[in-house]
Amino acid sequence: MKRSVKIKKPVLKQFKQADHEKLVLSKPIWVRIFHWGFVVSMIAILLSGLELHKPANFLLLNYGKVLIVHVASCWFALGFMTLRITDALIRRDISLIPKIHDLKGLPKLLGYYFFLHSAPPPSRKYNSGQLLIFSSWFFLFLFASLLGLASYWQGKHLIWVWHMVGGFQILRWIKFAITIYFLATIPIHIYLSLTEDISRLQAMITGYERKGPPKNR
């Protein structure tokens, strides 16, 4: 004898909301090209950089080839970043530029992440935590690129960078610290992308994000 399955009201409500949602272009093609191109480039930069900093002998990798991968990935990453900046200027997209009122909402956002608040504070396209991480990535990547060029040329050019940081060994350790920062913050970015609004992750692949009808105020 078959039993009739009753669907709970909250589930029915979710289905009804899905029917009213519509697909909206959230991530243009150039944003997606930058994102995934930069992701692949950064993975290659971080892994090859760690190998160059302290080679793992058991991997039996050719140092010269690892250096080529590292340098080429850096130039690719710079190219993708230039593409993203150009696209933002053309579309007049200022969503990645943090504002003062964005940073004011950071304490409440941290309270939400640490389960002290039931809902995150209102934000623009990106919340204050994302804007803070993105901004730090931008400046640290450019600074690390400058240090990388100075170390690559071995004092033939940009010798003032060596003097500014206090020598070649300190320069290497600064680059290593920046690498650790990226390795620590990238998983946070991935975690927040998967646990908040999954439609935004979908938008980074397809370009489209599901948007519900505007709420009556």
- In the predicted structure, residue 13 carries a pLDDT above the cut 80: no
Neighbours of 30 (CB within 10 A): 16
18, 209 Cβ separation under 8 angstroms? no
Read off the pLDDT of each residue in 196-216 and give the average, rounded to a whole number.
71
**Rounded CA gap, 177 and 86, in Å?**
29
Closest-CA residue to 167 (of 147, 149, 181, 144): 147
Average pLDDT, the chain: 81
Task: Lowest mean pLDDT of 84-93, 143-152, 201-210, name the range.
Answer: 201-210
Task: Lowest mean pLDDT of 69-78, 80-89, 110-119, name the range.
Answer: 110-119
- In the predicted structure, residue 176 carries a pLDDT above the cut 50: yes
- In the chain, what are the domain boundaries? 25-93, 98-197
Residue recorded with tokens 């009753």: 6
> Which pLDDT value is given to residue 3?
52
Could you tell me which residue, 17 or 154, shows the higher pLDDT?
A: 154
Residue spans of alpha helices (H) in 62-127: 63-91, 100-104, 106-113
Could you tell me which residue, 16 or 104, shows the higher pLDDT?
A: 104
Could you tell me which residue, 28 or 3, shows the higher pLDDT?
A: 28
For residue 1, the SS3 value is coil
Q: Rounded to two decimals, what is the model's pTM?
A: 0.76
Could you tell me which residue, 205 or 183, shows the higher pLDDT?
A: 183
- Tens of pLDDT, residue by residue over 120-133, are 888 787 888 888 89
Read off the pLDDT of each residue in 114-125 and give the average, rounded to a whole number.
81
For residue 23, the SS3 value is strand
Closest-CA residue to 189 (of 121, 108, 130): 130
Please give the structure tokens belonging to residue 112.
């939400």
Could you tell me which residue, 28 or 39, shows the higher pLDDT?
A: 39
- In the predicted structure, residue 15 carries a pLDDT above the cut 50: no
According to DSSP, the residues that pair with 208 across neighbouring strands are 25
> Which pLDDT value is given to residue 21?
66
Please give the structure tokens belonging to residue 63.
């140092």
Q: What proportion of the chain, given as a percentage, has pLDDT over 90?
A: 24
- In the predicted structure, residue 43 carries a pLDDT above the cut 60: yes
205, 193 Cβ separation under 8 angstroms? no
Read off the pLDDT of each residue in 172-201 and give the average, rounded to a whole number.
85
Q: What proportion of the chain, given as a percentage, has pLDDT over 70?
A: 87
For residue 183, the SS3 value is helix
For residue 65, the SS3 value is helix
